[in-house]
Amino acid sequence: MNFTDFQSLYDFSLVEAAVQSFFCGVDGSLFVAPLSETDPARGTWTPPPGFTAFYTNANITVNQACRPRVKIRLNNVNHVRGAYALDANGAMREKAWQASMEFGIVTEPNYAIHCQLRSQVLAIIAQGVAISQDGTLFATGGINKYLKLHQVSEFWSRNASTDVVPAEGAYMSLIPTQLAFSIPPSSWPAGMQTF
């Protein structure tokens, strides 16, 4: 086994894409993902009327001038100490991480509209991890519905504030979140031992 056997397991942009898909797929959601970066119309794309554009780092080349919009960024990904798997060569592999994700919110300069969008984002964050009545995690609910190789076990806002920054005819704010995710045993190549 070499690094190519594991490369997709360490592609954390998949977590960003799953959060985007989750937000765009929530019942009653008004979020929509922009065109892909390979679409020739990406430079002039705007969301349908009444919808909010929801960007990830993968959408960097898509027109990001529309308002309102939300952009997420996964950062500060740190290995959870002691969370390892042993590959068929006897090498230790990281299998769980904690990370930060920032939700950048941009609206027209209207505080009521800005607060409404921020509260929608916070309400959907609270649904990110589906928990059953007995407290066990549903691997196929919430964000995990959109992940094939990873599983998000925790997703919550942290240090949220009501700070709004006026800039260039817009209001902007950040919602910092924390998440924990891992590679479940079913995603590892054959011959792996997880512990």
Give per-residue pLDDT as tens, 62-93: 878 889 999 999 999 999 998 988 888 888 88
Q: What is the largest CA-CA distance in the chain?
A: 58
What value does the mean pLDDT take over residues 114-126? 94
Question: Cα torsion for 106, 109, 115, 118, to the nearest 10°?
Answer: 0
pLDDT in tens, 141-178: 889 999 999 999 899 998 888 888 898 889 999 999 99
**pLDDT of 132:** 62
Distance of CA 127 to the CA centre of its chain: 13
DSSP state of 7: G
Domain positions in the chain are 3-194
Q: Is the pLDDT score of 136 beyond 80? A: no
Is 70 exceeded by the pLDDT of residue 139? Answer: no
Output the CA angle 69-63-20, nearest 5 degrees.
45
Q: Which amino acid is at 97?
A: W
Count, residues in the chain: 195
130-135 LR contacts (CB < 8 Å, sep 24+): none
pLDDT number for residue 134: 61
d(CA 93, CA 193) in angstroms, rounded, equals 10
4 three-class SS? helix
User: Tens digits of per-residue pLDDT, 2-56?
Assistant: 778 788 888 999 999 999 999 999 988 799 999 988 888 888 888 999 999 999 9
Tell me 185's DSSP state: G
Residue pair 41/35 in contact by the 8 Å Cβ criterion: yes
| Structural tokens at position 64 | 């990001």
